[in-house]
Amino acid sequence: MNTPLHIAIRNGNIEIVKALLADGCNLGERDADGLTPLDLATKLNHDEIVRLLLDRGAGHLPPPPTGTIPLSPQQRKKRISSWTLFVIITLGVLTLVGIAHSLITIGILTSDMDHRSKHINTTVLDMVFLFFFVPAIAAYLSCYFFYIYRLWEEVPREFAQTTPGMAAGLSLVPFFSWYWMFVALGGLYQDMNKAMESYGREKRFNVTLIILACIVWLVDYFITFMLAMVLAAVAHMNIESPFLVFINVVGIVGEILLCIFTLVIFWIIRKNVREFVDMKSGDEK
């Protein structure tokens, strides 16, 4: 956890450091990177602050017991990249399964079979692809849970409006997740910016871009839900095949465009959170 003393040291604010030392602050508390105030001042080459800390009796404490040593910034950035890659791969697989289902459906609908045969074959197709959809969706949601969890782990608790577990868990609640994504992603950016302001950094992350992305996803979820309701309603009606073919073609194009859009946004989020890890750790180049 980044204490006021850690933040003052990161900013190189000697007067605040003196005031905090005069108040008798804890010199042995570690920050999110496992660094004591003296460790941090030494790392950032704040020689005067190092002398102040030593005069107050600070020392280089031994690392925490094995198994509790915090990950380094590089390790945390690598973990963020890994989960971003996992969620991208599973989303890609899920999209490909959906496209394959739509293409085979189009093939059935444009065949010479009568309406009843087409209906039977598309129903069987739906049942067969259900065995592919369920594990693909489960894999994606699992990766998405850990993706959100790892992102929120980087937000210092004093600036976070929610916890990593809640941010990730509520993202999987049906329908409620339509609202919660504005908190899980838009709120993430807002809290990172609050932390950056506290650290005295000028850089700010683009909250507007993430909110707009959430709006796009919300519109897509709503359209997909309504379309599924319509298709379920007409499943047993004698609807002309060209109409259903058109619906499936539109669905394929929509899936491809949305997948590309989502991958780009996820990659931007990955890049921004990695930058935040660097700046939070005082390693900005």
Looking at the predicted structure, is the pLDDT value of residue 285 above 50?
Answer: no
- Give Cα 65 distance to the centre of its chain: 30
* Average pLDDT estimate for 171-180: 92
pLDDT bin (cut points 50, 70, 90) of residue 85 is: very high
Predicted confidence (pLDDT) per residue in 191-237, tens digit: 999 988 877 788 899 999 999 999 999 998 888 877 777 666 665 55
Count of residues in the chain: 285
CA-wise closest residue to 86 among 4, 146, 45: 146
Predicted confidence (pLDDT) per residue in 15-26, tens digit: 888 888 887 777
Residue type, 65: P
- Which of 39-53, 73-87, 186-200 is least confident? 39-53
For the chain, the maximum distance between any two Cα atoms, rounded to a whole number of angstroms, is 90
CA distance 91 to 97: 10
Looking at the predicted structure, is the pLDDT value of residue 9 above 60?
Answer: yes
* Average pLDDT estimate for 236-258: 78
Listing DSSP states for 136-183 in one string gives HHHHHHHHHHHHHHHHHHTS-TTT-SS-HHHHHHGGGSTTHHHHHHII
DSSP-derived 3-state class of residue 13: coil
Q: How many Cβ atoms from other residues are within 10 Å of residue 283's Cβ? A: 15
* Topology, domain 4-55: 1.25.40
CA distance 231 to 118: 15
Can you give the residue ranges of every domain in the chain? 4-55, 73-280
Q: What is the pLDDT of residue 60?
A: 57
pLDDT bin (cut points 50, 70, 90) of residue 130 is: confident
The mean pLDDT of the chain is: 84
Q: Which residue has the tokens 């409620």?
A: 176
- Within 8 A by CB and 6+ apart from 53, the residues are 21, 27, 37, 38, 41
pLDDT bin (cut points 50, 70, 90) of residue 1 is: low
Tokens coding 87: 């969620």
pLDDT bin (cut points 50, 70, 90) of residue 283 is: very low
Looking at the predicted structure, is the pLDDT value of residue 49 above 70?
Answer: yes
Residue type, 119: H
- Give Cα 253 distance to the centre of its chain: 25
pLDDT bin (cut points 50, 70, 90) of residue 284 is: very low
Tokens coding 79: 């973990």
